[in-house]
Amino acid sequence: MAWVFLLLAGCCEIGWPIGLKLGWTPQGIRWLWIVFAVACITASGALLLLAQREIPMGTAYAVWTGIGAVGAFLVGVWAFGDPASTIRFASVGLIVLGIVGLKMG
């Protein structure tokens, strides 16, 4: 169950940058998106806490931040038109390899 908590925490880790991105516009603050971001941050931390009860802290933290970083990168490319160069995708691939290495070790 700890790995389920960790995967859910990682998904919430993707949600809060999206909420912040959509919550701050040239027209002003969009409060619902800011509330969404705060809810994702809170849920992410709580789920990480639950996951760390069984998963070593260093592994849990690396997987949690890795899911957030890779997920936010992919959403940025897909939904917000962020640059999608080969070097950026290769770098994200290295993050994934690091996460897999931690899980296997």
Total Cβ atoms within 10 A of residue 60: 24
Percent of the chain with pLDDT over 90: 91
**For 21-67, how does the pLDDT look when each residue is reduced to its tens digit (9 = 90+)?**
999 999 999 999 999 999 999 999 999 999 999 999 999 999 999 99
Per-residue confidence (pLDDT) for residue 74, from 0 to 100: 97
What DSSP designation does 55 have?
Answer: S
Per-residue confidence (pLDDT) for residue 42, from 0 to 100: 98
**In the structure, what pLDDT confidence band is assigned to residue 20 with cuts at 50, 70 and 90?**
very high
Q: Count CA atoms within 13 Å of residue 48 on its CB side.
A: 22
Instruction: Tell me how far apart the alpha carbons of residues 73 and 10 are, in angstroms, rounded to a whole number.
Output: 13
The angle that helices 57-80 and 2-23 make with each other, rounded to 10 degrees, is: 40
The stretch 1-27 carries a mean pLDDT of: 96
